[in-house]
Structure 1
Amino acid sequence: MLRKKGYLLILALIFVFSISTVAGAWWIFGSDEQATWDKVQAEGKLVVGMDAAYKPFEYQDKNGEIVGFDVDVLKEVAKKLDIKLDLQNTSFDGIIPGLQAKKYDLIMSAMTITEERKKAVNFSDPYFNAGQVIAAMGDNSSVKGVKDLEDKIVAVQLGTTGDLKVSEMEGVKEIKRFDTIPEAFIALQNGQVEAVVNDLPVTAAYIKEHPEVKIVGEPFTTEYYGIAFRKEDTELKEKINEALAELKQDGTYDEIYAKWFE
Structure 2
Amino acid sequence: MEFRDEKNRLVGYDIDLAREAGKRLGVKVEWIPTDWNGVILALNSGKFDIIWSGMSITEERAKEVDFSPAYINESQVVVVKAGNEKIKNQDDLKGKVVGTQLGSTGEQAAKKLKGLKELKKYSKYTEAFLDLDAGRLDAIVVDELVGRYYMTKRSNQFKVVFSLAKEPFGIAYRKQDKELQKALNKVMEDMKKDGTMARISKKWFGEDISTWEQPDAL
TM-score, length basis structure 2:
0.87
**Is it true that 1:132 corresponds to 2:61 in the alignment?**
no
- Three-state SS of the structure 1 residue aligned to 2:100 is strand
Q: Which has the larger radius of gyration?
A: 1
Q: Which amino acid in structure 1 is aligned with residue 76 of structure 2?
A: Q
CA contact (8 A) 1:145 1:216 kept: no
Task: Name which of 134, 143, 150 aligns with 1:199.
Answer: 143
Task: Name which of 83, 88, 91 aligns with 1:147.
Answer: 91
State the 1:229 CA deviation: 1.1
**Is it true that 1:166 corresponds to 2:115 in the alignment?**
no
| In 2: Cα distance, 1:218 partner to 1:170 partner | 16
| In 2: Cα distance, 1:224 partner to 1:105 partner | 21
Q: Which has the higher strand share?
A: 2
Match runs of 1:205-220 below 5 Å:
205-220=149-164
Ranges in structure 1 where 5+ consecutive residues have no aligned partner: 1-56
Residue in 2 that maps onto 1:185: 129
Ranges in structure 2 where 5+ consecutive residues have no aligned partner: 207-218
Residue in 1 that maps onto 2:18: 74
CA contact (8 A) 2:109 2:164 kept: no
- Three-state SS of the structure 2 residue aligned to 1:77 is helix
Q: Which amino acid in structure 1 is aligned with residue 72 of structure 2?
A: F
State the 1:197 CA deviation: 0.6
State the 1:141 CA deviation: 4.7
Task: Name which of 81, 87, 97 aligns with 2:31.
Answer: 87
CA contact (8 A) 1:135 1:213 kept: no
State the 1:212 CA deviation: 4.7
CA contact (8 A) 2:64 2:175 kept: yes
CA contact (8 A) 1:121 1:229 kept: yes
TM-score, length basis structure 1:
0.73
| In 2: Cα distance, 1:87 partner to 1:161 partner | 26
Residue in 1 that maps onto 2:172: 228
- Three-state SS of the structure 2 residue aligned to 1:144 is coil
| In 1: Cα distance, 2:150 partner to 2:106 partner | 16
| In 1: Cα distance, 2:72 partner to 2:188 partner | 11
Q: Which has the higher helix share?
A: 1
Residue in 2 that maps onto 1:103: 47
Q: Which amino acid in structure 2 is aligned with residue 94 of structure 1?
A: G
| In 2: Cα distance, 1:179 partner to 1:92 partner | 22
| In 1: Cα distance, 2:104 partner to 2:62 partner | 22
- Three-state SS of the structure 1 residue aligned to 2:56 is coil
Q: Which amino acid in structure 1 is aligned with residue 53 of structure 2?
A: S
Larger RCO, structure (CA 8 Å, separation 6 or more):
2
| In 1: Cα distance, 2:108 partner to 2:152 partner | 25
| In 1: Cα distance, 2:74 partner to 2:37 partner | 20
Please tell me the root mean square deviation across aligned C-alpha atoms, in Å. 1.7
